[in-house]
Amino acid sequence: MSASDFPGWHGTTIVGIRKGGKVVVAGDGQVSLGNTVIKGSARKVRRLSPGGSDVVCGFAGSTADAFSLLERLEAKLEATPGQLQRACVELAKDWRTDKYLQKLEAMLIVTDGRDLYVITGAGDVLEPEHDVAAIGSGGNYALAAARAMMDGDRDAEDIARTAMAIASDICVFTNGNLTVETIEA
């Protein structure tokens, strides 16, 4: 199959919710190739502990690319312990300027329980408005659903799980097989 015939890998919805002194990152497990579900139980949300500090990361895009970025983020966190923002900015600068990294196709949601960021290959380190971040194929659906629930009495995990359920009902590249990680400030 030539590169032009390759239908592309799709799948993944990741949402991050900051509420009530906690941040919850939830991600689905679907990986699709064209119209076919290749795997329904991929784990796209991970807990890192560089230098003893917990950080939760969710990724969308190419798994191999995301793992390369997570390894580099972990190295940046080890070099700047407890400074998530600085590590994220350093990763984004490398991603934007390094010719090898520029080809990586992934996005990350990263949190240490206090801060919540979306990191992109365009050099962005974005702190989301309204304490909700979402990426991936069903990200806009999860984002809209979560924002609609933020003013109510629901806690961060309930909002994340409900937003992901709504996204999986709408987006064919998202399923309901969730990995959920919670981290407190």
The set of catalytic residues is: 12
Q: Which two tokens stand for residue 8?
A: 């592309």
Give the C-alpha distances (Å, rounded to integers) separating 166 from 23, 56, 57, 113, 176.
20, 23, 22, 25, 9
Instruction: Report how far residue 101's alpha carbon sits from residue 3's, in angstroms, rounded to the nearest whole number.
Output: 20
Instruction: Report how far residue 23's alpha carbon sits from residue 33's, in angstroms, rounded to the nearest whole number.
Output: 31
From the centroid of its chain, how far is CA 119? 9
pLDDT at 151: 95
Q: Is the predicted pLDDT of residue 1 greater than 50, yes or no?
A: no
Write out pLDDT tens, residues 88-115: 999 998 887 877 677 777 889 999 999 9
Is pTM, for the whole model, over 0.75? yes
Three-state DSSP class for residue 132: strand
Contacts of 77 (CB under 8 A, 6+ apart): 48, 50, 51, 53, 55, 83, 84, 87
Contact 11, 173 (CB under 8 A): yes
Choose among 28, 97, 23: nearest CA to 55.
23
Q: Is the predicted pLDDT of residue 166 greater than 70, yes or no?
A: yes
Write out pLDDT tens, residues 47-59: 998 877 899 999 9
Tell me the torsion sign for CA atoms 166, 172, 178, 181: negative
Question: At 126, is the pLDDT very low, low, confident or very high (cuts 50, 70, 90)?
Answer: very high
Question: At 64, is the pLDDT very low, low, confident or very high (cuts 50, 70, 90)?
Answer: confident
